[in-house]
């Protein structure tokens, strides 16, 4: 998997289409959750895009402190269903954390993770902050990792 890191205006039309398609496939169809994915925040985000054979296989978007949460943050963490057995989730998250450390040194990293992925995020060094809550009717938990 090849990873690129781009601002919104540097994404190609094809990349953007594939990112939105993947997010829809997983977050709307696979998770059976009707929600507004196009939330107006993509233009502020830094996009971490993992491609394999010309197709987006993994993705996250990151934000500087204050743009989404008080801290730098990672969101829309997604890996294509057929690519999950290769560890791409860990790779795309590690790349995202490295980019935050580079772009926003010493910044705490925050995310709103789906609760069923708690072990995945804790293995990456994130710590639970607060109690579980529903976001779009899916259990989530706030997690942070000190910078």
- pLDDT tens digit string along 122-147? 999 999 999 999 998 999 999 999 97
Give yes or no for residue 99 having a pLDDT over 80. yes
Topology classification of domain 2-105: Aminopeptidase (3.40.630)
pLDDT at 69: 94
Report the alpha-carbon distance of residue 57 to residue 18 in Å, rounded. 9
pLDDT at 36: 87
- pLDDT tens digit string along 30-86? 998 888 899 999 999 999 999 999 999 999 999 999 999 999 999 999 999 999 999
pTM for this entry: 0.95
Give yes or no for residue 18 having a pLDDT over 90. yes
Report the alpha-carbon distance of residue 57 to residue 76 in Å, rounded. 13
pLDDT at 101: 96
Residue 85, both tokens: 């057995």
Mean pLDDT for all residues in the chain: 96
Closest by CA position to 74, among listed 34, 117, 33, 36: 117
pLDDT at 6: 98
Report the alpha-carbon distance of residue 13 to residue 127 in Å, rounded. 36
Report the alpha-carbon distance of residue 41 to residue 88 in Å, rounded. 24
Residue 11: pLDDT band (50, 70, 90) is: very high
pLDDT, mean of residues 84-98 = 98
Convert the chain into a string of H (helix), E (strand) and C (coil): CEEEEEEHHHCCHHHHHHHHHHHHHHHHHHCCCCCCCCCCCCCCCEEEEEEECCEEEEEEEEECCCCCCCCEEEEEEEECHHHHHHCHHHHHHHHHHHHHHHHCCCCCEEEEEEHHHHHHHHHCCCEECCCCEEECCEEEEEEEECC
pLDDT at 35: 87
């Amino acid at each position: 998997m090849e990873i690129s890191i781009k601002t919104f205006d540097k994404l190609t039309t094809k990349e953007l289409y594939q990112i939105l398609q993947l997010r829809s496939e997983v977050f709307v169809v696979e998770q059976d959750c009707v929600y507004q994915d196009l939330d107006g925040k993509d233009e502020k985000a830094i996009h971490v895009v993992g491609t394999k054979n010309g197709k987006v296989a993994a993705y996250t978007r990151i934000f500087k402190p204050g743009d989404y949460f008080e801290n730098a943050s990672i969101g829309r963490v997604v890996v294509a269903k057929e690519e999950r057995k290769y560890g791409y989730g860990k790779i795309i998250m590690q790349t995202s954390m490295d980019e935050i450390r580079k772009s926003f040194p010493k910044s705490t990293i925050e995310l709103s993770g789906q609760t069923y992925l708690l072990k995945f995020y804790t293995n990456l060094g994130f710590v639970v902050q607060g109690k579980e809550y529903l976001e779009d009717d899916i259990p989530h938990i706030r997690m942070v990792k000190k910078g």
